[in-house]
Amino acid sequence: MKPGPGFAMLRRGDLRLLLNVPGGGGGAGQQLTGGSTPEPGGWNRFQVQVDDLDTTVAELRQAGVDFRGDTITGRGGRQALAIDPSGNLVELFEAYQR
């Protein structure tokens, strides 16, 4: 797919991630009827499962990645919210071993 500027498709194995730049002309980047536009830094995010959350977070912090808050423990596992260069959240998730 090559729909032009403002759009990117990333693929790894069976995973396909489609991204639109706000205002970039793609459907997901267009202004909504009420006038709002997609903005980075909200609570929406995508999740990446990791085997060792503590090691992953330490390596990313060492590389200069910022995080929103501390590691959170929930029902299904643990998570940390990395902030990408545009201000979007990427949830790193380590599932509990069953």
Q: What tokens does 19 get?
A: 């991204």
Residues 63-89, mean pLDDT to the nearest whole number: 90
13 and 50 share one domain:
no
pLDDT at 94 over 90: yes
Q: What percent of the chain has pLDDT over 70?
A: 73
50 and 95 share one domain:
yes
- What would the pLDDT profile of 13-55 be if each residue is shown by its tens digit? 988 777 766 665 555 566 666 777 667 776 677 788 999 999 9
- Angle of CA points 54, 71, 39, to nearest 5°: 115
Give the pLDDT band of residue 93 (cuts 50, 70, 90).
very high
Domain boundaries, position 28: 1-38
68 and 94 share one domain:
yes
49 and 91 share one domain:
yes
Rounded to two decimals, the pTM is 0.66
Residue 82 belongs to a domain with what CATH number?
3.10.180.10
Residues 54-75, mean pLDDT to the nearest whole number: 94
Q: What is the mean pLDDT of the chain?
A: 81
Q: How many domains does the chain have?
A: 2
Distance CA 66, CA 84 (A): 8
33 and 23 share one domain:
yes
CA dihedral 88, 9, 60, 41 (to 10 degrees): 0
45 and 30 share one domain:
no
